[in-house]
Amino acid sequence: MCGLLLGGESHIAQVVPSRNVASDTRRRFEIDPLTLLAAHRAARTGATPVIGHYHSHPAGIARPSPRDAEDAAPDGSIWLIVAGMEVTAWRAVEAGTVEGRFTPLSLHVVD
C-alpha cells in the first residue's frame, strides 16, 4: 500500500492512493509516476500541493528502513509509515537522526 500526501507546511489534508509499481512490492514501494504527475499538475492549477507520501511495512515496524533511507531524497518531504495499527511520520532531511536520513515528526489527528 502506498500513495501521496497532500497538504500544507505541517498538515496532511488528503491522501491519494497509488498503485505500487515497484518490481518487488514486498520489499519496496514506488508511487505510480502517472499518479504523481497528475497530482503535481493539479497543484500547479490550484489543487492542494504534494507534501509527501505514505507506504506500509506489511511485515515490519513503523520506522524507516535502511532501504527507505537509500531511496529518500533529503527534500524535506513527509514520510508516513504504516505497520499494523501503528502510523508514524518522518521528514526526509540531509542529516537525520534515523537511518541518517529521517527526523521523527509528531502526528496529531484533528477533525
User: Any contact of residue 54 with Zn ion (CB under 5 A)?
Assistant: no
- Long-range contacts at 21-27 (CB < 8 A, ≥ 24 apart): 26/58, 27/67
User: Any contact of residue 72 with Zn ion (CB under 5 A)?
Assistant: no
* CB-nearer residue toward Zn ion: 4 or 68: 68
Grid cell locating 41? 499538475
Pick the piece of the chain touching Zn ion (CB under 5 A) from 2-10, 31-39, 41-49, 65-73: 65-73
CB-hemisphere CA count at 13 Å for 50?
21
Minimum distance from CB of 40 to Zn ion (Å)? 22
* CB-nearer residue toward Zn ion: 20 or 68: 68
Grid cell locating 81? 509509515
User: Any contact of residue 79 with Zn ion (CB under 5 A)?
Assistant: no
* DSSP 8-state symbol, 49: P
What residue ranges bind Zn ion (CB under 5 A)? 65, 68
